[in-house]
Chain A
């Protein structure tokens, strides 16, 4: 059987994490190709419905990346993000999905290496817990 390759939808804020991911790229760091980046202006732009929509459409994991606390370009976007992600994790748990499928990380524009490690680590963990059950769940 082919090895399971998790699909991670990564919402990355333009000012920090996306730049960090870019840095990982231009530095030619090698890492798992499992994350599909989507650039947003701020992690605070990640509406909870984006995350749920991604899971409903079969994502195995969702990564939200934003600036470190205090560094958000819009001052407080990432504070809201933290609360949203915590609330979403609580919800996912109640809906029978593993909390680890949703991950929030603060990664700055200079942390290309951290981006690599987060993606590698998340890919590994998702391989352990397996494909999202929503992928195969046929409503009966």
Chain B
């Protein structure tokens, strides 16, 4: 059997997804035995020109991590789409936008002002900001354009499969590689992870939840046996896909939602709002005292960062309106 051709690429990401590939440890050797790696920026020096020269659809599977933040990210997404039979959004950034997409609470101008002028350690008296093209004696210099809005991979090109997680856990990565190398694939568009919510498989003891106050993680030492929500600590488990092996839960930290929504949910944050609304209790419920409800809800700091930490770019609203 001839070897499969695979490629890896990184766009707007932290680099963790690159390492996640290696987290499958010695299994990577099995992958290399069955596949040629044509591109892998973290490990090989492939030039964009080389990719352009490849025949269309000559890459069997391309694993693309990172969100779309610049024109370079978008250009490479389009190029790799053309060169690949199967394009996989690898990791939360490519899948749902992830942490880079929290910058959708700002725009290019606000980000540049902060990063290049206002930060406490910056001296920039001439207010020099990055420019996508600049005239010098020798000609025009260009750098990629920085967009106002971070997008998911499938908002710029068609995506065949998704591998969730920030970063994807070794079990998920290994399982996905096996699926691709054996051709045992679910229908196009599938997320290669279980369909149940994290709570469904969570080992912690659950009660009928009714929480009277909300704690931030640092405000309370969590009982390692009991459900976080029962203890008043927001856990994204009800709104998040399982498959991670409860790594955070086992480390006594609540789920923050990196595996994204379950298949029947349209918006992860909305789902969490719905779940939370059902468990927030106020004393003397029947009086429906609006003030008390407001007081309780005001304990939830940073709703966007809590409910949409990983999925803002793929949510209904996608970005903050900035006038």
Contacts and interface: CB of A to CB of B under 8 A. Distances in A.
A82 interface: yes
B297 interface: yes
B35 interface: no
Interface string B177-205: 00000000000000000000000000000
Interface residues of A, number: 32
Contact of A55 (B290, B297, B317): B317
State the 9 A-B residue pairs at the shortest beta-carbon distance, nearest first.
A96-B321, A83-B277, A49-B270, A48-B270, A52-B316, A56-B316, A69-B288, A84-B277, A48-B273
Interface of A: 47-49, 51-53, 55-56, 69-70, 76, 78-84, 86-88, 90-91, 94-97, 133-134, 137, 139-140
Given A53-B316, A134-B321, A79 B273 contact: no
Main secondary structure of the interface of A (DSSP, over half): helix
Interface string B285-323: 111101001100100100110010000000111111111
Given A69-B286, A140-B148, 18 more contacts: A48-B270, A48-B271, A49-B274, A53-B316, A56-B318, A81-B277, A83-B277, A83-B297, A87-B300, A87-B303, A91-B273, A91-B304, A95-B304, A96-B322, A97-B321, A133-B321, A134-B317, A139-B148
22 contacts: A48-B270, A49-B265, A53-B316, A70-B286, A76-B285, A83-B276, A83-B280, A84-B277, A87-B276, A87-B300, A90-B297, A90-B303, A91-B269, A91-B303, A94-B304, A95-B317, A97-B317, A134-B317, A139-B148, A139-B149, A140-B147, A140-B148
Given A49-B266, A52-B316, A79 B285 contact: yes
Contacts of A86: 290, 293-294, 297
A125 to B, nearest CB: 18
Nearest to A76: B285
Candidate in B155, B270, B300, B315 with the most chain A CB atoms within 10 angstroms: B270
A47 B274 contact: yes
A49 to B, nearest CB: 4
Contacts of A82: 288, 290, 293
Interface residues of B, number: 39
A78 B318 CA distance: 28
A87 B272 CA distance: 10
Nearest to B155: A139
B295 to A, nearest CB: 10
A55 B105 CA distance: 17
A72 to B, nearest CB: 10
Contact of B307 (A47, A51, A91): A91
